[in-house]
A and B are shown apart, each in its own frame.
Chain A
Amino acid sequence: MNFITVSGPPSSGKTSVLLKTIEVFIDRGLKVGVVKFDCLSTDDDLLYKKMNIPVKKGLSGALCPDHYFVSNVEEIFQWGLDIDADILISESAGLCNRCSPYIKEIKAVCVIDNLSGVGTPKKIGPMLKSADVVVITKGDIVSQAEREVFASRVNAVNPASIIMNINGLTGQGAFELASVLHNDKSANIETLTGKELRFPMPSALCSYCLGETKIGAEHQMGNVRKMDIKND
């Protein structure tokens, strides 16, 4: 089975691009399963269901969605095998711009949109920097110049990636993306057990992670760091 992890800021166009791309896979006679990871709620699963795509959703609730992803990915992968999928795709929203659910040797896609501004690529961490394919959406709403500047900024932070402009509404480029994500050279992955994350997640564990709600120094324990606020 081919496994593709897709991640990107909320509303960057992940679902739109995936729906168009999966349509191409289905046309090619491939069976696709999708797992959607989110924090509090998502209706994306309904969109996938509407296209008769088998879908699972995982809501991390109070946990960091990327930590939640890694803790569940093995089981999810098994589900993909059980339903006999040729391609399993995970969609997750990158929320803090720091984490990324990418796994070594597993195709990693980051979706980011032209509207987020040219300063954005440098603010996004491993989610963008360590992706194999960067999909840029919403090119239809900006000028050629803005598209070129944005793409060159993405290229500066991830020069090794394949950068593709895709229109999530019309699907322009989805055919080509499908060919990049799944082709004769795609690895057939048998198991995820033992594979490694591309980048360690931040080691954050403070009293607030553990349920503390009160403000004040005496309630702060663990990994606490203070801002440097000088009077000038």
Chain B
Amino acid sequence: MIEHNVINNTKLFILLKKYPFLEAYFKDNNFDIIGHEAGTFSSFLNTLDEEYLEDMAIDKHEACRQLSTYLNSMLEFLGEDKTDVLSITIFPGTNKSGEKENYDKLKINKGDIVSIVGPTGSGKSRLLADIEWVAQADTPTKRKIFVNDDVPDNKWRFSIEDKLVAQLSQNMNFVMDLTAKEFVELHARSRMVENIEEVIGRILTQANELAGENFAPDTPITSLSGGQSRALMIADTAILSKSPIVLIDEIENAGIDRKRALSLLLSEDKIILIATHDPTLALLGDKRIVIKNGGIDCVIETTAEERQVLAELEVMDKRTKEMRTKLRNGERL
């Protein structure tokens, strides 16, 4: 932790050289420090006239305090040894009728794929929300979540940089007006990655492989097809998102290689949770959590027989895919 005074007594050019991310920070806060690098941040603030300070709603004292808060939080984020999340453990709470849940404890390890099944309104989303909030018996289900076999740090709840969970939503639209490359670059910069070009290249390559149907880096993201958008979202989340857990709310079958998508996520060392009604997807998991009446009713391990079923389903899926291609090409089915 760098003392507030030290930061505010250091010349700007030194700060910028040591902490290049501050350049974006000053820009985001409308501090036009160009030409003032030889002085300190406070001396820069002193060059601004009262009218400007009032217009831009800048309080000098606050601005200095904010700079040190930001710098310190970024240093913590960049410098700290990232706690590697090896497992999460879910301890039972109660179902909607207030009865204790029917399992001992449930440990999910890095590299696991777990699907979550159950009727509408049964509490699937609540379970996912409990994990995201690292519940400590303080949600309606009274469940407790441990990280790495221990009471979790509060940072998982509140830090923007250290989110436990990334979510691949059902939605397949982008709203930004950027090309695929610009989009990934924007994300990479906000994540402070170092070898930006290489990372961008990797994401775009992976996305193209997942989508099957290629797109160029300069394609506007808003004109990607549904499958391409989803492929880009998955590749981007797998590679750039720091969150150790990825929640997936149904990956639609259309236009994307789902098995490959999961193995991409796994290769990036994630824990994967999938809420789904699709048998193929559910069977890709190592186990599935069955939710009834708000509680975890049981946990079913995927058996060898079920994997056989999966093979059958995959043959059927493949056949459907072939039919679709024929249909597209104007052939007879």
Contacts and interface: CB of A to CB of B under 8 A. Distances in A.
Interface of A: 98, 114-115, 117-118, 121-122, 125-126, 129-130, 139-146, 148-149, 151-160, 162-163, 170, 172-173, 175-176, 179, 199-200, 202-203
A119 B76 CA distance: 25
B48 to A, nearest CB: 15
A155 to B, nearest CB: 5
Interface in B163-219: 166-169, 171, 173-176, 183-184, 186-187, 190-191
A175 B140 contact: yes
A139 B24 CA distance: 24
Q: 9 closest A-B pairs (Cβ-Cβ)?
A: A125-B57, A159-B70, A156-B28, A152-B190, A145-B187, A159-B69, A149-B190, A155-B160, A144-B237
Nearest to B73: A159
Given A152-B190, A175-B139, A203-B54, A142 B236 contact: no
Contacts of B47: none
Contact of A152 (B160, B173, B233): B160
A142 B171 contact: yes
A126 B57 contact: yes
A170 B190 contact: no
A163 B160 contact: yes
B28 A173 contact: no
Given A145-B237, A152-B160, 12 more contacts: A121-B28, A122-B29, A129-B57, A129-B62, A144-B166, A145-B236, A146-B174, A149-B187, A149-B190, A153-B190, A175-B133, A199-B59
B301 interface: no
Given A121-B28, A122-B30, A160 B69 contact: yes
Contact of A146 (B54, B70, B166, B175): B175
Contacts of B241: 144-145, 148
26 contacts: A115-B175, A121-B28, A122-B27, A122-B28, A130-B62, A141-B175, A142-B173, A142-B175, A143-B169, A143-B171, A143-B174, A143-B236, A144-B167, A144-B237, A145-B184, A148-B166, A152-B161, A153-B28, A154-B160, A156-B70, A170-B125, A172-B129, A175-B133, A175-B140, A176-B133, A179-B138
Interface of B: 24-25, 27-30, 54-57, 59, 62, 66, 69-70, 73, 125, 129, 133, 138-140, 157-158, 160-161, 166-169, 171, 173-176, 183-184, 186-187, 190-191, 233, 236-237, 240-241
A117 B129 CA distance: 26
A144 B25 contact: no
A149 B160 CA distance: 10
A125 B56 contact: yes
Q: Which of B56, B125, B160, B233 has the most C-beta atoms of chain A within 10 angstroms of its own C-beta? A: B160
Nearest to B65: A160
Contacts of B55: 202
Contacts of B157: 176
B207 to A, nearest CB: 12
A121 B29 CA distance: 9
A201 to B, nearest CB: 10
A202 B175 contact: no
B176 A146 contact: yes
Contacts of A122: 27-30
B24 A156 contact: yes
A94 to B, nearest CB: 12
Nearest to A147: B167
A145 B237 CA distance: 7
B177 to A, nearest CB: 9
A154 B29 CA distance: 10
A170 B176 CA distance: 24
B237 A98 contact: no
Contacts of B237: 144-145
A142 B30 contact: no
Nearest to B66: A159
Nearest to B184: A145
B74 to A, nearest CB: 8
B23 to A, nearest CB: 11
